[in-house]
Amino acid sequence: MSFTNPNLRFADRLGKRSLNSYDEVVEILKVVGGGRLVGEVRVTGAKNSVLKLMAAALLAEGTTTLLDVPDILDVEIMAELLRRLGCEVSHDQATSMVIIIVPAELDHRADYDLVRRMRASICVLGPLLARCGAAEVALPGGDNIGSRGLDMHVEGLIKLGARAVNEHGYLIASSQQRLRGDSVYLDFPSVGATETILMAAVTAVGTTIIDNVAREPEIVDICTMLSAMGANISGAGTSTLTIVGVDALQPVTHRTVPDRIVAGTWAVAAVITQGDITIRNARVEHLEIALEKLATAGATVTVVDDGFRVTMDQRPLSVDIVTLPYPGFPTDLQPQFIALNAVAIGAALVTENLFEARFRFVQELARLGADVRTDGHHALVRGRSQLSGAPVEATDIRAGAGLVLAGLVAEGVTTIYGVSHIDRGYAEFVPDLQRLGARIIRIDEDAD
């Protein structure tokens, strides 16, 4: 067992081992609870935007440059996926820049070994179909947070004239001619389905109208980049997207929208530790409900230059939450708020409407002494004055973040396994926590 240098950037740590052997490495976090987090952090670009921006690059031959790219495992997986499709991809961690050189001819098959590691790989489906007239994408795995179907992606592509079959674990989509615009209605404002259909429609013949689309800031970000590439899109950020197909797109340089979920995680960290954190490169307008909830819990939130500051000087009050598509309360902050409620005064009802398995995290939190009962998609959290440190396992990215937050206030040592989940979405998490005063270390169990 040895300490991992937390100051090494993610890709440097990964550099010691291949992406494939990364799974075999057992890294753990040890957190000693107690103490306020005080100071300043800067949030990077959003994971859930940049992965799709990287896929959108496939739509244009030439060199796309993405700025403010987070140093996280999922970006490395997406980079590898694009390389397998024939692109040259370089990621300069020092400047947070990714450069993607897209060739005239692309391969159109995304294999299971990468797709199984990251469900977001499915976002190459739309661009590949648009560029190559064919796409074969292994059916994804990813987070352990529920069934997560693809029916709306497929139905949308069929509406645009594609054929789609599921064979031998692959989703195979093809189209003899260019896709043609049509009206598509989504049963649910799915982020992924909106992106797939949008990216397939930008070069279709004619006009596509997609109704009941997702309105997340990350969708707006993709629309902004596609528009700069020459796409004709209106309605970004509303429930209806209208896309007038164009013949071809050009590569661009684009800055990724800040990660509102990482910003929200830092905000909860300030409140749960009764601390004072200034979060830069963060947008309050992307987190309105979550910040309102923190104010209800007793925190003070003030807008500052390029971000906001969250201060707390008392034990938090419990807050009910109901997860919903944007602009509702984000499911990706639900575990962090359960952790907060676990040490709050009073009881809170948490309703999860997007991913049924996200409550798996509750069993881990219970190991720290949290009092949480679940029934279907509801959880009743009764706040306790003190949690107690224990070994726990992160079951997905946000569960990992929630467990770290709980560990920050639990008495004694909390050991967190499944660190690779946290690496998928949080860049520089441990060094940033240390700078804010947390007593946390990362330990590499496989090293001598």
CB closer to ligand EPU, 388 vs 420 = 420
Phi first, then psi: what are they for 116, rounded to 5°? -65, -25
Secondary structure letter of residue 260 according to DSSP: H
Q: Could you give the dihedral angle defined by the CA atoms of residues 64, 67, 70 and 76, in that order, rounded to the nearest 10 degrees?
A: 20
Residue with tokens 């993610």: 10
The Cα–Cα gap between 138 and 113 comes to: 9
Task: Kindly state the smallest distance separating residue 354's Cβ from ligand EPU, in Å.
Answer: 5
The Cα–Cα gap between 280 and 274 comes to: 19
Give the residue from 225, 171, 163 showing the smallest Cα distance to 198.
225
CB closer to ligand EPU, 41 vs 354 = 354
Residue with tokens 């949308």: 156
- Three-class secondary structure of residue 417 per DSSP: strand
Give the DSSP per-residue string, 273-320: TT-EEEEES--GGGSHHHHHHHHHTT-EEEEETTEEEEE--SPPBP--
The Cα–Cα gap between 259 and 347 comes to: 29
Residue type (1 letter), 416 = I
CB closer to ligand EPU, 330 vs 389 = 330
CB closer to ligand EPU, 374 vs 388 = 374
The Cα–Cα gap between 66 and 84 comes to: 19
Contacts with ligand EPU by CB under 6 A lie at 48, 51, 120, 143, 146-153, 188, 190-193, 214, 331-332, 354-355, 397-398, 425
143: annotated active-site residue: yes
Task: Kindly state the smallest distance separating residue 272's Cβ from ligand EPU, in Å.
Answer: 19
Burial of residue 86 (CB within 10 Å: 0-12, 13-18, 19+) is: middle
Q: Which residue, judged by CB position, is nearest to ligand EPU in the bound state?
A: 192
CB closer to ligand EPU, 146 vs 346 = 146
Residue with tokens 């692309």: 106
CB closer to ligand EPU, 31 vs 77 = 77
CB of 166 closer than 8 Å to CB of 173: no
User: Which of 143, 259, 332, 423 is the catalytic position?
Assistant: 143
State the catalytic residues: 143
